[in-house]
Structure 1
Amino acid sequence: MRQKIAVFLFDGFSDWEIAYLTPEINKSERFDLVYFSESGDAVTSMGGLVIQPTTSLPALAAEEITLLILPGGTAWESGTVTGMDDLTKSQYEQGKPIAAICAATTYLGRLDLLNELKHTSNDPQYLKSIAPQYAGEQHYQHSLAVTDRNVITANGIAPIEFAREIFKIIGLYDDEQIEKWYQLFKNGVWSE
């Protein structure tokens, strides 16, 4: 049975932050990408792409999700994304992976999911300004991407590092293949 990787889409999501990871996962015969929005209605990305999600949040079979991916976007900062709390907390409590990049990390901060984990974001002060209840400064890592206890966080300028961490956590490729992929997309270096 193919594992389901759920990608949350919303108006204004940062399309480039998932652009490196989705084609690689989509090529795999082990995973299905499930794109969902809160209502299931079409959304428009920050880049102007109009996308019809696969399903809606209420119709999503949460128990079947292997990994939840949360791209960034200003909707996280403004708090206009509503309704994701139960799914995100459930994923976290079950020890299932969650991957958040850029402003989506502030959402995890608001849910108090970063307080005891090594994590990153755009900046610790950025995190604190958007999520005042965030209390995980002592675990903040000044890195492009961090994985700790099945939670992946990434800086908004790190979609390639974000993808690499996701590939590792789902075992998309072996370590050598992941490193080759990373060197190709990060540095333009291909090795056989």
Structure 2
Amino acid sequence: MTRRTVHLAVYDTFADWETGHTTAHLTQHGFTVRTVGPTTDPVTTMGGVRAQPDLALDALNPEDSALLILTGAHLWDACDDLAPFAAKARAFLDAGVPVAAICGATAGLAREGLLNDRAHTSAVSFYLDATGYRGGDHYRDADAVTDRNLITAGPTEPVAFAREVFALLGVYEGEKLDAWYRLFHDSDASAYEILSS
């Protein structure tokens, strides 16, 4: 992986807790995380935190990125305001650049047609069925799923989501990836020694 910049989408009602593990550990392993908003105007997360995007969505190019991360937000289901982020995800995937979507962002990708022919997951299958998408046969009842540069996860699985990102970007591999997951998901203290070696 030569590109070391990861782009994190931020928008009003952004679910703060869903990407903390992912972005913190990417930063600790030499990646730069830049935030992308609908514009460069500040947004307010679901937790009430104001965030100032580094750049506007229309200035984001797949060739400048190693990964686009999309989190859940009430807006995914309340209106079409976030549809441009799903369209940008299509541009990333078409360019061979990975996308990671968790929680409500999976519904946005379903509406965009990006889950019609890829293995994927979400909160529950009927949540995505309500979007009218045609990918139900590819739904997997799993914590997180990676298929052809697209990672999906449900809202209760930020650690599994991070694990898939780390595997895809080569941050951790093999025994260390397993140890990281056991430490942060299962509170398995024995994994710390492996991870720190």
TM-score with structure 1 setting the length: 0.93
Residue in 2 that maps onto 1:14? 15
The answer to whether structure 1 residue 114 and structure 2 residue 133 are counterparts is no
Q: 3-state DSSP class of the match of 1:58?
A: helix
Indicate if the aligned counterparts of 2:3 and 2:65 stay in contact, CA closer than 8 A: no
Name stretches of at least 5 consecutive residues in structure 1 with no aligned partner: none
SS in 2 for 1:20: helix
1:71 aligns with 2:36: no
Pairing of 1:56-95 with structure 2 (within 5 A):
56-78=56-78, 79-95=80-96
CA contact (8 A) 2:117 2:138 kept: yes
Q: 2:125 corresponds to which residue?
A: 124
Distance in structure 1 (CA, Å) of the matches to 2:87 and 2:126: 26
Runs of 4+ with >6 A deviation: none
RMSD: 1.4
SS in 1 for 2:11: coil
Check conservation: 2:35, 2:54, Cα contact below 8 A. Answer: yes
Q: CA deviation at 1:143?
A: 0.6
Q: Partner residue of 1:39?
A: 39
Query: TM-score, normalising length from structure 2?
Result: 0.91
Alpha-carbon shift at residue 91 of structure 1 (Å): 0.7
Decide whether aligned partners of structure 1 residues 2 and 92 sit closer, same or farther in structure 2, where only a CA change above 3 A counts: closer
Q: Verify the 8 A CA contact 1:2 1:32 in the aligned structure 2.
A: no
**Distance in structure 1 (CA, Å) of the matches to 2:14 and 2:87:** 20
Q: Deviations over 1:164-189 (max 9, x none)?
A: 00000001122222211111111111
**Structure 2: distance between partners of 1:54 and 1:15:** 17
1:62 and 1:119 map into 2 onto residues whose CA distance is 22
Question: What do the CA deviations read for 1:1-42 (whole angstroms, capped 9, x no partner)?
Answer: 65211110000010100011111011122x211111010111
Q: For the residues of structure 2 that align with 1:6 and 1:82, how far apart are their CA atoms?
A: 17
Q: Counting helix residues as a fraction of each chain, which structure ranks higher?
A: 2
Unaligned runs of 5+ in 2: none
Contact 2:7-2:34 at 8 Å conserved across structures: yes
